[in-house]
Structure 1
Amino acid sequence: MKKKTTLVAAAIAASALALTACSGGASGGSGADGETYNWDMTITVSETSTWWAGAEKFAELLDEKSDGRMTLNLFANEQLSGGDPAAGVEMLANGDKAFSYNSPIIYSGIDPRFSAITAPFLYADYEQADAAIEGGAAEAYEGLTEEMGIKMLGFGESGFRQITNSKHEIVEPADVKGLKLRVAGSDLFLDIYKELGADPVSMNFAEVFTSLQTGAIDGQENPFDVIYSNGLMEVQDYLTVWNYVYDPLILGMNLEQYESLSDEDKKIVDEAAAEANEYQINLSREREAEQLAEMQDQMTVTELTPEQLEAFRDAMQPVYEKYTDKWTPELAEAVQPK
């Protein structure tokens, strides 16, 4: 594991060194005070999401705090990487763009350690997730991203992930069996659903709506904001609220570009990122109740009881046994509820 990670990081670093400053990076390269920048940033989902609202806030703050020296060009739906979020993370690491909001689930396709914070049924609520992030998880993830050539500028939030489908209600593990479900592009998520007897498939998120509409897949799993902002309730009949995975968002910047900034400009980027992340998280949480209420008008919504959740939690023990070593003891400890 360690050798493989080192080789990946070395390859990314070598690619980054070969790049010029014009690939979504600064218009100059010195990073001196007074320098102007024209940066690109992507998100995985649409312009109606809280991800986009957070990115817009980040752009506004950079412009304001730099007196117009820092410009951020925003792209939804991973437009710069053909809809492929994994390729988007690679672009960020290579310096082909400067910023992105991406789930650690996507990062885990490169390094499985990133999936630790998205372990099934790890946190019962946002209070537990917040305490873990403040208690060491954020610091641990900053170290992981730097190994990839990415500067982590804090966590935003996608929220707790839910499951939808077009066949029937899901109230027990047996109800998942046989469903063809699009899951996040991570070995962990494939293993979670295989353990439940589903037929999990990975595909770019940009393809999900059409695949649900045509019946190529039966369902998918995502947080409320992603389900709602992409109109998935139009092509799904059942929503199960089970909060089975907490999904933060990594606000990442290409490390080489970050390190080229002056101390003054680093401070501007850091402060703008912290404020934008806080804004995005608060907005996401504020909107959840409203989004759920609207989806209840269009879908059959089932909220699982603690007893029903326990049956799913028990079914996940083989997954934990398989992944504990991949996460490493230090990282597994860092993400534990506090």
Structure 2
Amino acid sequence: MKRVLTLIFVFCLLLGLSSSSYAATEIKIGHVLTTDSAWHINLDGFAKEAAEQTEGRVIFKIYPGSQLGNEKDLIEGLMLQTVDGGLIGGGSFQSIDPRFGIEALPYAWKDHEAAYRAMDGEIGNFLLGILESKGIKGISWWENGFRHITNNKRPIMVPKDMEGLKIRVTPDKMRLDTFKALGASPIPINFGELYTALQQGVVDAQENPLGIIYANAFYEVQKYLSLSGHIWGSALLCVNSPAWKRIPDQDKPVVEALAHKWRDRERQQIMDEESDMLVKLKEKGMQANEVDKEAFKAAVQPVWNDYESVFGKDLMDLVRKYGE
């Protein structure tokens, strides 16, 4: 009997050790882009390496293509704790606080590096503090890239060429005001409906980074590509606070380090794609042209003036500091 009891004890002990060894924190990360986008490719690498380096204790499952909802849904889910996490365009967090629109001031950043310094520095830290107070842990600032204009009417070279153009924009007020200042007719349309809207002529134009233009085959329904580079956009890898707390303390620094590592790779891919995608879009038949950026920058200065009261002078001064 003693031998049987001993065997039962040892079996239960081994079972308990086995269970704890295989216990894992599983976190679902959603995003709205395709599986061949820089976002997804690098999220996949991040997730695989996180599983390896934490010996299976932290498992990130990636859900592309709006499987967990659009960006508005993801943010609402983070707040309600029905969504673990996401890689979400920084500007989409304006639904929480309008100051998240600061990165999208038209012609705020002269190049990628200026934007990186801002988001990895004082501006990014300020915005992460806002999210922390709302129950969201921002892990790392990734990138969506510079946006460019495509349309079916004519080449866009100077602001006057924008007059009367029906252009799809994201549904935030500053983006709408920016294109109104340029003389266009901005129309907010859900991204998932954009291809059809362009195909059916509901809108003449749209604006997105080159990688997204190519990945979503907008070249099939758009003729002209104008390299406006009018707005740069970040992307934030984030989770809700309870999901972050579920990650073992020993693994939190590992997750953050890997998020930064794959952020850097994603940023490099975005920059590499800009020249590569331009070639591919031309091969698909798009007519590409440069724009007079100084003329565009001058045309949107009223937007800067109007939004200083929204963002505050201190934050605007930081933009001027990093944007130089």
- The question of a shared fold, defined as TM-score above 0.5 by the shorter chain, is answered with yes
1:137 equivalent to 2:136? Answer no
Match of 1:146 among 120, 128, 132: 132
Asked if structure 2 preserves the Cα contact closer than 8 Å seen for 1:54 and 1:280, the reply is: yes
Report the alpha carbon displacement of residue 139 of structure 1 after superposing the two structures with TM: 1.2
Q: Quick check: 2:25–2:246 contact (8 Å CA) kept in 1?
A: no
What is the identity, as a one-letter code, of the residue corresponding to 1:184?
T
Residue pair 2:210, 2:273 contacting (<8 A) in 1 also: no
TM alignment of 1:81-120, pairs within 5 A? 81=69, 84-120=70-106
Which residue does 2:49 correspond to in 1? 61
Residues 165 and 205 of structure 2 are in contact (CA less than 8 Å); yes or no, is this contact kept in structure 1?
Answer: yes
Separation in 2, partners of 1:76, 1:89:
15
User: What TM-score do the two structures reach when normalised by structure 2?
Assistant: 0.88
Q: List aligned pairs for 1:233-248, cutoff 5 A.
A: 233-248=219-234
Q: Distance in 2 between matches of 1:119 and 1:71?
A: 36
Structure-2 separation of matches of 1:60 and 1:261? 16
Residues 125/86 of structure 1: CA separation in 2 closer, same or farther (3 Å cut) = same
Matched, 1:284 2:259: no
2:183 counterpart residue number: 197
Output the aligned Cα RMSD.
Answer: 1.8
> 2:145 pairs with 159, 180, 184, which one?
159
SS, match of residue 68 in structure 1: coil
In structure 1, what is the equivalent of residue 320 of structure 2?
Answer: 336
1:122-161 superposed Cα distances (whole Å, 9 cap, x missing partner) = 1111232233234422212211221332111111111111
Tell me which residue corresponds to 2:8: none
Question: Is residue 2:284 matched to residue 1:300?
Answer: no
Report if the CA contact (8 A) 1:123-1:129 is conserved. yes
- 1:163-178 to structure 2, matched below 5 A, reads 163-178=149-164
- The answer to whether the Cα contact below 8 Å between 1:43 and 1:75 also exists between their aligned partners in 2 is yes
Q: Percent identity?
A: 30
Structure 1 residues 186 and 150 mapped into 2: Cα distance closer, same or farther (>3 Å)? same
Counterpart Cα distance in 2 of 1:253 and 1:147: 13
What corresponds to 1:188 in structure 2?
A: 174
Q: 2:24 aligns with which of 36, 45, 49?
A: 36
Deviation at 1:291, TM superposition (A): 0.6
Q: Give distance in 2, aligned partners of 1:321 and 1:34.
A: 56
Contact 1:163-1:221 within 8 A present in 2 as well: yes
Secondary structure of 1:120's counterpart equals: coil
SS at match of 1:39: strand
Which entry has the higher C-alpha Rg, 1 or 2? 2
C-alpha contact 2:25 2:247 (8 A) present in aligned 1: no
Contact 1:138 1:154 in 2 (8 A): no
- Structure 1 gaps of 5+ residues are 1-31
Q: Deviations over 1:90-149 (max 9, x none)?
A: 112322222211111211233210010111001111232233234422212211221332
Provide closer, same or farther for how the CA distance between residues 282 and 33 of structure 1 changes in structure 2, counting only shifts above 3 A.
farther
The answer as to 2:190 corresponding to 1:229 is no
- Note if 1:123 corresponds to 2:109: yes
Q: What amino acid sits opposite 2:160 in the alignment?
A: A
Deviation, 1:35, is 4.7
Aligned AA (2:156) = I
Provide the secondary structure at the position in 1 that maps to 2:320. coil
Deviations 1:18-44 (A, max 9, x none): xxxxxxxxxxxxxx9985122211112
Shift of 1:334: 3.2
Match of 1:324 in 2: 308
Deviation at 1:222, TM superposition (A): 0.7
Residue segments in structure 2 that go unaligned for 5+ positions in a row:
1-19
| Residues 131 and 238 of structure 1, relative CA distance in 2, 3 Å threshold | same
- Counterpart among 58, 68, 73 of residue 61 in structure 2: 73
Q: Distance in 1 between matches of 2:154 and 2:229?
A: 19
Amino acid at match of 1:86: K
